[in-house]
């Protein structure tokens, strides 16, 4: 069980001394530090820290804003830490997810995350409905099939010269689409599979 510190300032000109001091007080074993905007979710040291932490570790930060600026990014990071079994301690907000009040705060974060996901789905559904009424939404376009090539490969497949997997790969089809297209092809060409007695 390690004590991990994460330090971030937004620009090269800002100093990390105050955050370093806080990490010393917490007696962390390792610090991940970077000078990058919190608006950027793809921060190298943040990614390295999230990869490094293990179950039972504790992550120390100066404040929640050090982890992320947007609610979405922050919730994603907290979700990752929770799934990995990592305790989060935020100095400024006095949050420790190993305490009852800290766990409550984590529950609030999780609820906010769920709410955000549901709202996004709702907006997508509403957008599709609007597009449908305007005649702009037709769903996913079906995959175009080269039926001549399909017929050749179908013959090879039925002769056991190629496997179904080879057939799918050569046609660039998923298993569901492949079997649907096989049924279409057989129906169109009057092919009836012999039934076992």
Give the three-state DSSP class for 83: helix
Helices (H), ranges, the chain: 17-26, 44-52, 64-67, 71-83, 100-133, 147-158, 164-171, 175-188
- What is the maximum span of the chain, computed from C-alpha positions, in angstroms? 82
**Are the C-beta atoms of 5 and 31 separated by less than 8 Å?**
yes
- Catalytic center residues: 10
């Amino acid at each position: 069980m390690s004590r991990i510190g994460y330090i971030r300032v937004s620009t090269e000109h800002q100093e990390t001394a105050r955050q370093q001091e806080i990490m010393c007080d917490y007696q962390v074993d390792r610090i991940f530090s970077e000078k990058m905007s919190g608006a950027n979710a793809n921060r190298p040291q943040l990614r390295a820290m999230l990869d490094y932490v293990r179950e039972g570790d504790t992550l120390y930060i100066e404040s929640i804003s050090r982890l992320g600026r947007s609610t979405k990014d922050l919730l994603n990071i907290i979700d990752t830490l929770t799934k990995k079994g990592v305790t989060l301690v935020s100095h400024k907000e006095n949050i420790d997810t190993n305490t009852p009040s800290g766990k409550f705060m984590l529950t609030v974060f999780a609820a906010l995350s769920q709410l955000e996901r549901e709202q996004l789905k709702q907006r997508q559904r509403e957008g599709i409905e609007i597009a449908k009424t305007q005649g702009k939404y037709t769903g996913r376009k079906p995959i175009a099939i080269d039926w001549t090539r399909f017929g050749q490969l179908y013959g090879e497949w039925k002769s056991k010269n190629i496997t179904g997997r080879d057939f799918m790969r050569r046609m660039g089809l998923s298993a569901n689409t492949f079997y649907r297209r096989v049924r279409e092809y057989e129906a169109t060409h009057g092919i009836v599979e012999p039934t076992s007695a």
